[in-house]
Structure 1
Amino acid sequence: MGKVIMHNVMSVDGFIADENDGVGPLHDWYYNGDTPLAEQDEQGFDHSEGGNGFKVSRASADYVRKMWRSIGVIVIGRRLFDLTNGWEGSPPTGDHVVVVSHRPKPEGWHPEASYHFVTDVTAAIAKAQELAGERTISLNAGDVGGQILAAGLVDEVAIDVVPVVFGSGRRYFGGIGGQHLLEQPHLVVQGDGVLHLKFKVRR
């Protein structure tokens, strides 16, 4: 069974977006390097604005490529689905998307896309594990991610920390309550304008 990894880009004060869902400079590091994320034989990895391709530092490229290639399923909440229109049925990586929502998939929306709508976080992880097999399940941070972490269903937390302070906005761990312990970071990669960290969740 594949690992469940909660992942997102985050400000140093713990936010994944501002109160209006703007990401400000959080994604600038995707464009400030000279190494394309997508290699010549890869069709994915390019959901950049304008479709010009992400170019990052060599350190970030090595880290992100390895992580993204391992992903079989992405789990997101309805907010992200609506903001991106589900990436028009073509997720940035992985073969399937599971959306946690009390509203069904929009009628007629990209019927060819492998997007699955479920009403609670436990069902989301169960469906994702069914679809992923041995591949990684990438869980978007925020309210849904925080709920799944609180339910004890997350194996690792991966954070791309960007040197900016938002002051308020959408929290990485959502409205999670209680204390949740992580192990010491088992991966630390210094990119250009971003610090990549990975923590195992303490059981």
Structure 2
Amino acid sequence: MGTTYLHAVASLDGYIADEHDDVGPLHDWYFNGDHPLVEEDHPDVHGAPFRVSAASAEYVRGMWSRQKVLVVGRRQFDLTNGWEGHPPASEHVVVVSHRPRPQGWHPEAPYHFAGSVAEGIARAQELAGDGEIGVGAGDVGGQALALGLVDHVAIDVVPVVFGRGKPYFGTLADGTLMLGDPDVVIQGDGVLHLRLPARSGAGRWSSSTTAE
């Protein structure tokens, strides 16, 4: 079974968007370099062709090339309209939601809907085989981490402070979860890439696995 990552871009104070779901400058580094990340861009969906610094390109290309499935919550799916069936990376996307795929929405897109976080991760593992799984940060990602379903936490930290917004680990409370020391630290242009191992069997937060 492949590695599972909790992954997103975050502000220096740990937010993945502001209170209005605006990412502000968090994703600017995806477009400020000379090195493409993917062979086929969909700038109409993602905003512009992905072009990053050399250091970021080596790291992100490696992660995206190994990632076979992306797990996201319904809010991210709705905000992006599922990237019109073209996620930045992954062959499949699993959406954790109590609501089904919207009627008539890109029927050919390899998107799968699951009613809980645990069900979503299990479905992703079936689809990924030996490939890796990315889990979007926020409530779904935080719940997956709390349930012990995540192997690594990967954060792309951007030097901006939001002050308030949507936390990287969602709204979980109750207790503390210790991660391991970073095993990846890469300085890009306007971003710092960090990866930390989740400690198997470490203290867990909430057992709640709500879906949107």
TM over 0.5: yes
Name which of 69, 72, 77 aligns with 1:76.
72
Q: Which moved more, 1:55-64 or 1:27-36?
A: 27-36
Name which of 196, 199, 212 aligns with 1:199.
196
Name which of 143, 159, 163 aligns with 2:155.
159
Q: Secondary structure at the match of 1:174?
A: coil
Partner of 1:20: 20
1:1-203, aligned counterparts within 5 Å?
1-38=1-38, 42-43=39-40, 47-49=45-47, 52-177=48-173, 178-203=175-200
Deviations 1:61-114 (A, max 9, x none): 111100100000000000000001001112111110000011111011111111
Q: 1:145 to 1:196 in 2, by over 3 A?
A: same
Q: Secondary structure at the match of 1:110?
A: coil
Structure 1: distance between partners of 2:117 and 2:42: 26
Deviations 1:142-171 (A, max 9, x none): 011011111111100000000000000000
Structure 1: distance between partners of 2:29 and 2:88: 16
Structure 2: distance between partners of 1:85 and 1:108: 13
Q: Secondary structure at the match of 1:97?
A: strand
* Moved >3 Å (runs of 4+): 44-48
Structure 1: distance between partners of 2:141 and 2:100: 20
Structure 2: distance between partners of 1:45 and 1:86: 13
CA contact 2:7–2:153 (8 Å) conserved in 1: yes
Structure 1 gaps of 5+ residues are none
Structure 2 gaps of 5+ residues are 201-212
CA contact 1:71–1:136 (8 Å) conserved in 2: yes
Report the count of equivalent residues: 198
Q: 1:131 to 1:74 in 2, by over 3 A?
A: same
Deviations 1:1-36 (A, max 9, x none): 011100000001000000000000101111211222
Relative to the length of structure 2, the TM-score reads 0.90
CA contact 2:46–2:83 (8 Å) conserved in 1: no
Structure 2: distance between partners of 1:91 and 1:140: 12
Structure 1: distance between partners of 2:83 and 2:33: 24
* Superposed displacement of residue 55, structure 1: 1.2
Structure 1: distance between partners of 2:189 and 2:165: 24
Q: CA RMSD in A?
A: 1.2
CA contact 1:44–1:93 (8 Å) conserved in 2: no
* Superposed displacement of residue 175, structure 1: 1.1
CA contact 1:159–1:198 (8 Å) conserved in 2: yes
Structure 2: distance between partners of 1:97 and 1:148: 16
The residue type equivalent to 1:15 in the other structure is Y
* Superposed displacement of residue 44, structure 1: 5.0
The residue type equivalent to 1:167 in the other structure is G
